[in-house]
Structure 1
Amino acid sequence: MFGILGSIRRSWSSTSSAKTSFKNSLSCISRIFFGPLPKDSKWIKPGRLHYIENDVEKHADIIKTMDGVVVLLYNISRKKLIFVRQFRGAVYQGIYSGQNVEMSKGEADLEKFPPDIGITLELCGGAVDKDKSLAEIAKEEVLEECGYEVPTKSLERVLDYRSGIGTSSSAMTLFYCEVCDGQKVSEGGGVDDEEIQVVEMPVEESNKLVEAGAVTNGGPSCLMGLLWFFLYKAPKVS
């Protein structure tokens, strides 16, 4: 196990080679500007939690967000892992504002901070926003984002964890699913106004993603999913 982890660390030092086949932009973003959060936001609800610890009154500023599912997909027909790329406003804002704790305001300088800095490479996934099982929601996300029709029984539940434990602590569930070319029924790319690019990557090239870390890669879920794959699945499928 530790030998595998060592080889992963050595091979993940650069994302540039792993991205050579990507097109630079997903869509033409012509303007970005920042504004206050409306009170009726569907996705997040800010608040403050008060508690007493060792007779000292304390508080924590928190954000209520939806829980989520992510799916690590492996195409057994072509021996490739499947990812998605999309623009993430939160990632863009985080890079744009840097260490400034204040929320950015007004127009973004797109020459200095092009939209591409907010594009992430991540696992297929989505919010738990339906009254369905986690496996059923994951199945729908695989179809909508990546174009594969899979039975729920093929989704292997890997682990459950909490993300953003300092502020949001939403519950996340990681699934693994093997697909084949025969299950490809559409191009994927998301639904409604989503702009999602499906990225297929050879296993050996995916090694580089672990060590390169993560300025704009899809955070802990992507890295954790890949580490799990290389430890428990790669020796069997590659």
Structure 2
Amino acid sequence: MEEINNVEVVPCTESEYLKPFRVLYNQNGTKKSWDFMQSHDSVSVLLFNTTSHCFVLVKQFRPAVYMCEWEKAKTKTSQGAEKTEEGDASESQEGQSAPAEESSPSSPWPPASAGVTYELCAGLVDKPDLSLEEIARQEVLEECGYDIPASKLKRITSFRSSVGVIGSKQTMFYAEVSDDNCVSAGGGDPREGELIEVVKVPLHEAMTFAYDERIPKSLGLIFSFIWFHNNMSPKYKISTNV
């Protein structure tokens, strides 16, 4: 999963997932405009395995995260090159010889691990004939390998994500599973280009995991752990190490 090569950035002229728009409007008498992306709504599921008392998460490479890290690396490289050039120029002015060859600033690609994030099991709402619960059930089966009825999914809440750019709605569910429900290793649907690793986080390490900034994760994952700590932990009488 963490071997990424032949990276090429090209214009996106058509996509079935994102459509860019610019809205023009008047707000309190002032003309304004805003650029936004139209996208599908989504579902996510906080899975808790009652056999092993752990959360079942997914770990996958996210190109958008990777490109953000590349931009940061490129900026640092450019700044470093500028400082080097300033130093060389200063040395030349003082009568010292500058390097015989000048190398252009390079922007090396960061390691693939820079784009890997921990997330809840989730998926797009792109099947109008299915309920949100049924879509979530399918995602749990495909990504994490647990076969559970849709009736076992408890709705936590819904919220708007990326409100400045996308504004789509995500509906979050909670489900308890056991080892008996596990029918496959999960990993997503290869036909859809998914390459997912199933990860388990012990209950007693959950809040430490959530607040560890060294572990890249989605906001929904952090929120769901806090929700569990506030609403479900007393049931299991186990500290979530908050």
TM-score (norm 2): 0.80
- Larger deviation: 26-35 or 134-143? 26-35
Amino acid at match of 2:115: G
Q: 1:31 — aligned with what?
A: 6
Q: How far apart are residue 203 of structure 1 and its match? A: 0.8
Deviation string, structure 1 residues 201-231 (Cα, Å, up to 9, x no partner): 101122212222477212x211111110111
Amino acid at match of 1:48: R
Note the 1:112-191 alignment, pairs <5 A.
113-131=110-128, 132-191=130-189
Q: Distance in 1 between matches of 2:7 and 2:115?
A: 11
* Contact 1:27-1:195 within 8 A present in 2 as well: no
Q: 1:8 — aligned with what?
A: none
Q: Which has the higher contact order (CA 8 A, sep 6+)?
A: 1
Q: 2:51 — aligned with what?
A: 77
Amino acid at match of 1:31: N
Q: How far apart are residue 42 of structure 1 and its match? A: 0.8
Amino acid at match of 1:157: R
Q: RMSD value over aligned CA atoms?
A: 2.0
In our comparison, the structure showing a higher alpha carbon Rg is: 2
Q: Distance in 2 between matches of 1:146 and 1:108?
A: 36
- Larger deviation: 206-215 or 224-233? 206-215
* Contact 1:48-1:60 within 8 A present in 2 as well: yes
Q: Distance in 2 between matches of 1:27 and 1:94?
A: 17
- Stretches of structure 1 lacking an aligned partner (at least 5 in a row): 1-25, 101-106
Note the 1:190-205 alignment, pairs <5 A.
190-191=188-189, 192=191, 193-205=193-205
- Paired residues in the alignment total 204
Q: 2:87 — aligned with what?
A: none
Closer, same or farther: CA 198–129 of 1 in aligned 2, 3 Å: same
* Contact 1:91-1:216 within 8 A present in 2 as well: no
Q: How far apart are residue 99 of structure 1 and its match? A: 10
Q: How far apart are residue 234 of structure 1 and its match? A: 1.7
Amino acid at match of 2:57: F
Amino acid at match of 1:199: V
Percent identity, please: 36
Q: 2:27 — aligned with what?
A: 53
Instruction: Spell out structure 1 runs of 4+ moving beyond 3 A.
Output: none
* Contact 2:73-2:108 within 8 A present in 1 as well: no
Secondary structure of the structure 1 residue equivalent to 2:221: helix
Q: 1:212 — aligned with what?
A: 212
- Stretches of structure 2 lacking an aligned partner (at least 5 in a row): 75-105
Amino acid at match of 2:60: Q
Q: How far apart are residue 27 of structure 1 and its match? A: 4.2
Which of 91, 104, 116 in structure 1 is aligned with 2:65?
A: 91
Secondary structure of the structure 1 residue equivalent to 2:146: coil
Q: 1:233 — aligned with what?
A: 232
* Contact 1:34-1:108 within 8 A present in 2 as well: no
Q: How far apart are residue 30 of structure 1 and its match? A: 2.4
Amino acid at match of 1:230: H
Deviation string, structure 1 residues 124-151 (Cα, Å, up to 9, x no partner): 0011111211000000000000000010
* Contact 1:63-1:168 within 8 A present in 2 as well: yes
- Larger deviation: 202-211 or 131-140? 202-211
